[in-house]
Amino acid sequence: MFLAVTLACATSDTDRTSEVTQRGTYTVWYRGPEIDAELGYRWADGHLGDEWLILKLSLVGTGTRVERRSIRIRTPDAHTLPLLDQREFRRTYGKLRIGLDRSYAWELPTGSFAGSREPCGQWFLVPPGQFLATSALFLSSARVCTGPLVFQVPIGVQPGRWVLMIDLEESDVRIPFVLGG
């Protein structure tokens, strides 16, 4: 199944168009004026009702800064939840570890970032004992930054349309995906 949706994103210079494409059952590809992103949500779709929404995100950009505080999720009932902070991530890592490990094993690469790109070695949420978490990523077209996104969902992960939101300096990234559908 191949579905393309075009969304308008306002930028400070001019209006540009972003493209959101469903690639496979559990992967959404976003191409925008500042970043390209691949969002995997297979684990989340299989774990409705869980307290934790676990997603996998890969990012590429051209000199773009993405801050941790700019990443949020909009639930099907229109509530906005922040990305889990590093302190809480480490505190709850024991509960999250199996989901994180399996979400990575289950996410199939689509080849969207094929080529000579290197992994960037930084991310917002880092397991205990690994490198330091960052509060901001500086994206480059020469490297791919990949990692988990974890959101605490007090009423449990519900079926419906979710939207990953990333507010950048010049544009707002909106990546919709549907769970349980």
How confident is the prediction along the chain (181 residues), in pLDDT tens digits per residue? 333 443 343 333 334 588 999 988 999 999 999 999 999 999 999 999 999 999 999 999 988 999 999 999 999 999 999 999 999 999 999 999 888 887 766 555 555 665 556 677 788 998 887 778 899 999 988 888 888 999 999 999 999 999 999 999 999 999 999 999 7
In what helix (H) or strand (E) does residue 19 lie, and over which residues does it extend?
strand 15-23
pTM here? 0.85
Separation CA 54–CA 47 (nearest Å): 9
